Structures are given as structure tokens and as C-alpha cells.
Amino acid sequence: SELSPKELAVLIQQRRVQPVDIRDAQAFARYRIPTAINVPIDEVPTKLEQFVPRDGRLRILYARSTDDAKQLAEQLQQQGMQ
């Protein structure tokens, strides 16, 4: 599901989520959501451990388009991740 920027800001402030920027490293360097980590979409298969919420915070994916984030979220769910 989609979150508004305001909803995301509240969840970040409450430390309930970890934003995951799936854009390339250059885009991440130019602008990112505070506290976000960068896992470029083409590196996801080798960095799946970064999507496991071991710290209790849900991972919130974002990209240039919501379509990219939604597609990756669906793929991760098919692999058993939430």
C-alpha cells in the first residue's frame, strides 16, 4: 500500500519503519529521505538480508515511480518477505 509523505514522516519519527531507496546510488546521493538506506534495485537479489526487519522496523520501499517499488514489494512477498 502507499503512504503519504506525512504518514511516512510520522512512522519514521516513531522509529517504526526503515525507508529503503531502491534508486541508483547517484540518485540516492542527490536526494534521499532522512534515515533511508540505499539498495539499488539491481542489487536486491544479493542484498535480501537488508529487507529482513531484524530491528522490528518495517521496510518501506521507494523509487522514482511507485510502480518500481510496488513491483519489488510484490516480488519480495512472493519470496516470503513481508
Q: Any idea which of 43-47, 51-55, 72-76 has the lowest mean pLDDT?
A: 51-55
pLDDT digits (tens, 9 = 90+) for 4-18: 999 999 999 999 999
pLDDT digits (tens, 9 = 90+) for 5-52: 999 999 999 999 999 999 999 999 999 999 999 999 999 999 988 888
pLDDT value for 51: 85
**CA–CA separation, 18 and 8 (whole Å):** 10
Question: Any idea which residue has 503519504 for its cell?
Answer: 4
**CA–CA separation, 4 and 46 (whole Å):** 29
pLDDT value for 2: 85
0.85 exceeded by the pTM?
Answer: yes
